[in-house]
């Protein structure tokens, strides 16, 4: 780096340049002081954006959830320095979310957009997306973190469909606001069909709008629950969250609206299909019932299923032992694959599956994602 004569940059400008552009903190105070000596904030942006680290991030590594540091007044001031070479004006208004600041900086916006109370900017596979939700809802507030954690789904889709998904059919069960559908589409940009299933009437309209505004207007949205046998089901819809669930019994599930919604099986949805490449299921404990209702088609089409094993929802809403759940899945599919720090790892044998459930139970989130599949070719392509 070559310093430009003149006043040094404020330290917080360099700190937030690291966070907003590279998604991490600087290595040390000494490194921060070295960049301060550059004296030119827009030049600092150019240096960072020309780096191999930044190119790798934008190419698909994405930002880790812990890198989304909540911005404050210093962050907003740093944004003005980095974008315009000067501090923020006295009257700046509220501080935008992290990803709004980041994308406005990276895309060269002269002014920061006003974020509606029912929308957030999320990053999926290095690309920004506006997503609408229910104003004040915890899920919407956490959507940037949720989106950052979906990079695994993007990578899985790429590994399953190395040709870009030409002609592929993808199904998102429990689509919510559409984040996972966006991730699957990013991993298979040449897919032919995308089916998004969301039973909650509060969310299905938002889902349809979010997919359309983010380039997936042709996606097929079904307001229905995935079930083992066709028929209507009672959906519990807590007013405090962007989530809904079907429960095996009342069990004191709490207050909130209840809706009678149609129940669809995966077999019904897949009957006319010549292929179904990937099914994602995150449906609050009803995953086993959904798979049971599609076994014929899943076997016929050799579909990979990306499924959440959530210890709490299995116990609370499905009323089953998670060990029984994983053993049932292992009977239905030749391969159960769990994710480790080193990548996807097949889990073979009762002991290994028991240890996997134990490890998930002891983890902070008490849930993790599993792939149920008919072959392991995609594991070799995992990058």
Structure tokens belonging to residue 328: 């049932």
Cα 353–chain centre separation:
25
In this structure, of 8-22, 132-146, 159-173, the range with the lowest mean pLDDT score is 132-146
Res 242: pLDDT: 66
371: β partners? 306, 337
Tens digits of residue pLDDT in 180-209: 999 999 999 999 999 999 999 889 999 999
Nearest C-alpha neighbor of 323 from the set 362, 351, 293: 351
The better pLDDT of the pair 227, 110 is held by: 227
233-to-95, 262, 319 alpha-carbon distances in Å: 43, 6, 17
Average pLDDT, the chain: 89
Tens digits of residue pLDDT in 37-95: 999 999 999 999 999 988 876 654 556 666 778 889 999 999 999 999 999 988 777 78
Report strand pairing: 169-173 vs 367-373.
Answer: unpaired
Res 269: pLDDT: 97
Res 110: pLDDT: 86
With a cut of 60, say whether residue 255 has pLDDT above it.
Answer: no
Query: How many other CB atoms are there within 10 angstroms of residue 372's CB atom?
Result: 23
- pLDDT mean over 155-173: 97
Tens digits of residue pLDDT in 270-318: 999 999 999 999 999 999 999 999 999 999 999 999 999 999 999 988 8
Report helix, strand or coil for 131.
strand
With a cut of 70, say whether residue 107 has pLDDT above it.
Answer: yes
Range 102-138 burial, b when 16+ CB lie within 10 A, else e: bbbbbeeeeebeeeeeebbbbbbbbebbbbbbbeebe
- pLDDT mean over 130-150: 86
Nearest C-alpha neighbor of 126 from the set 162, 102, 110: 102
- pLDDT mean over 341-364: 94
- For every residue of 199-228, DSSP letters joined together read --HHHHHHHHHHHHHTT-TT-EEE--EE-S
- pLDDT mean over 164-175: 97
In this structure, are residues 157 and 170 in contact, taking their beta carbons and an 8 Å threshold? yes
Would you give the DSSP letter of residue 116?
A: P
- pLDDT mean over 332-345: 95
Tens digits of residue pLDDT in 371-381: 999 999 999 99
Residue 48: phi, psi to the nearest 5?
Answer: -65, -40
98: β partners? none
Measured CA to CA, the distance from residue 319 to residue 278 in angstroms comes to: 27
With a cut of 50, say whether residue 4 has pLDDT above it.
Answer: no
- Percentage of the chain surpassing pLDDT 70? 92
């Amino acid at each position: 780096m070559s310093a430009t004569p003149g006043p040094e940059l404020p330290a917080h400008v360099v700190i937030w340049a690291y966070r907003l552009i590279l998604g991490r903190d600087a290595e040390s105070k000494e490194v921060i002081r070295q960049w301060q000596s550059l004296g030119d904030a827009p030049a600092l942006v150019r240096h960072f954006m020309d780096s191999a680290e930044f190119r790798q991030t934008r190419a698909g590594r994405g930002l880790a959830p812990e890198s989304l540091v909540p911005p404050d007044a210093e962050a907003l001031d740093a944004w003005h320095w980095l974008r315009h070479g000067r501090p923020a004006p006295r009257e700046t208004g509220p501080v935008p979310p992290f990803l709004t600041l980041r994308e406005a900086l990276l895309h060269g916006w002269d002014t920061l957009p006003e974020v509606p109370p029912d929308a957030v900017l999320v990053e999926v596979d290095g690309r920004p997306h506006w997503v609408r939700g229910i104003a004040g809802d915890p899920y919407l507030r956490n959507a940037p973190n949720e989106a950052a954690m979906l990079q695994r789904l993007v990578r899985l889709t790429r590994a399953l469909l190395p040709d870009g998904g030409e002609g592929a059919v993808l199904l998102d069960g429990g689509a919510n606001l559409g984040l996972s559908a966006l991730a699957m589409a990013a991993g298979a940009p040449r897919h032919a069909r995308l089916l998004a299933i969301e039973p909650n009437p509060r969310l299905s309209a938002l889902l349809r709008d979010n997919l359309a505004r983010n380039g997936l207007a042709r996606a097929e949205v079904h307001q229905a629950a995935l079930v083992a046998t066709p028929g209507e089901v009672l959906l519990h819809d807590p007013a405090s969250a962007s989530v809904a669930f079907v429960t095996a019994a009342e069990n004191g599930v709490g207050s909130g609206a209840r809706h009678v919604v149609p129940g669809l099986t995966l077999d019904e949805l897949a009957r006319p299909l010549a292929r179904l490449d990937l099914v994602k299921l995150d449906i609050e404990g009803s995953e086993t019932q959904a798979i049971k209702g599609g076994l014929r088609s899943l076997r016929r089409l050799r579909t990979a299923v990306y499924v959440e094993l959530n210890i709490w929802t299995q116990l609370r809403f499905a009323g089953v032992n998670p060990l029984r759940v994983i053993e049932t899945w292992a009977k239905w599919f030749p391969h159960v694959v769990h994710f480790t720090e080193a990548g996807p790892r097949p889990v073979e044998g009762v002991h290994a599956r028991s240890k996997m459930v134990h490890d998930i139970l002891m983890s902070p989130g008490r849930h993790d994602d599993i792939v149920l599949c008919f072959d392991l070719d995609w594991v070799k392509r995992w990058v």
